[in-house]
Amino acid sequence: MLCDDCGKNNARLHYTQIVNGRKMDKHLCEKCARAYSASNYNMTLPNIMTGFLSNQVKKEAIRTEQCSECQLTYDSFRRDGKLGCEKCYQVFSDRLAPLLSNIHPHTVHKGKIPQNSTESLKRMRQLENLKEQLEKAISDEAFEEAAKLRDEIREIEKNGGGSK
């Protein structure tokens, strides 16, 4: 008997499948049988059920994921777009990341910083500003100004400031 699928090799394996009370026989060669069982593997009922459930569980987990501080659920945020407290930004950071990059072209704050920010942040900002000024001075060919700025930058960097 030749294989039902390829029609070339001899059929060595014989499947009997009952779907909705209808019996179906299949006779396959070894090669086609491997492909057949691989493609049908996930279709077995227990697998369908567990796959479905694990998806449900995952979705349910995201929905009920909760801020440890204000108890806001992610589902509630998805409904009305408002977070409950500053901690929410940490708790939901993974889910917020793609959202943020959708709304804002850059996702790192470059604007104003509070007066009571940490010294290292202040120094980093000061360095960024000076470097910007330096670039401008160079493009304006204001080399005296550029030299002054360069010295200032070196001085700050020598004193342990700035991460860049």
Partner 1 sequence: MKWIANEGDERDVVVSSRVRLARNLKEWYFPSRMTPLQGSEVYEKIVNSANYGETNAFKMKDIPKIEQHMLVEKHVISPTLLMNQEISGFIMNKDETETIMINEEDHIRIQVLTAGLSLQQSYLKANQIDDFLESHLNYAFDEKLGFLTACPTNLGTGLRASVMLHLPALEMTKEINQLITMLNQFGLAVRGVYGEGTKALGSLYQLSNQSTLGDKEEGIVQKIEQLCRQIAAKEKDSRKKLLENNGVYFEDKIYRAYGLLKHTRTISAEEAVKLISLVKLGINLGLIENNTIELMDQLFVQIQPANIQYLSRQEMTSDERDVKRAQILRERIK
Identity of the residue, 52 or 89, whose beta carbon is nearer to partner 1 in the bound complex: 89
**Whole-angstrom Cα distance, residue 48 to residue 53?**
9
**Whole-angstrom Cα distance, residue 26 to residue 11?**
9
Is residue 164 a contact point for partner 1 (CB under 8 A)?
A: no
Is residue 40 a contact point for partner 1 (CB under 8 A)?
A: no
**List 49, 63, 117, 140, residue binding partner 1 (CB under 8 A):** 117
Is residue 72 a contact point for partner 1 (CB under 8 A)?
A: yes
**Whole-angstrom Cα distance, residue 81 to residue 67?**
15
User: In 3-state terms, what secondary structure has residue 52?
Assistant: helix
Is residue 89 a contact point for partner 1 (CB under 8 A)?
A: yes
Is residue 98 a contact point for partner 1 (CB under 8 A)?
A: no
Q: Which strand (E) or helix (H) includes residue 30?
A: helix 30-41
**Whole-angstrom Cα distance, residue 95 to residue 105?**
17
Give me the half-sphere count of Cα atoms (radius 13 Å) on the Cβ side of residue 155.
Answer: 8
| CB 87, min distance to partner 1, A | 9
Q: Which stretch binds partner 1 (CB under 8 A): 16-24, 25-33, 54-62, 74-82?
A: 74-82
Identity of the residue, 28 or 77, whose beta carbon is nearer to partner 1 in the bound complex: 77
Tell me the sheet residues that pair with 22.
19
The CA dihedral of 53, 58, 61, 63, to the nearest 10 degrees, is: -100
Is residue 99 a contact point for partner 1 (CB under 8 A)?
A: yes
Lay out the site mask for partner 1 across 52-71 (x = CB under 8 A, - = otherwise). Answer: -----------------xx-
Identity of the residue, 72 or 127, whose beta carbon is nearer to partner 1 in the bound complex: 72
Applying CB under 8 A, which residues contact partner 1? 69-70, 72, 80-86, 89, 96, 99-100, 103-118, 121
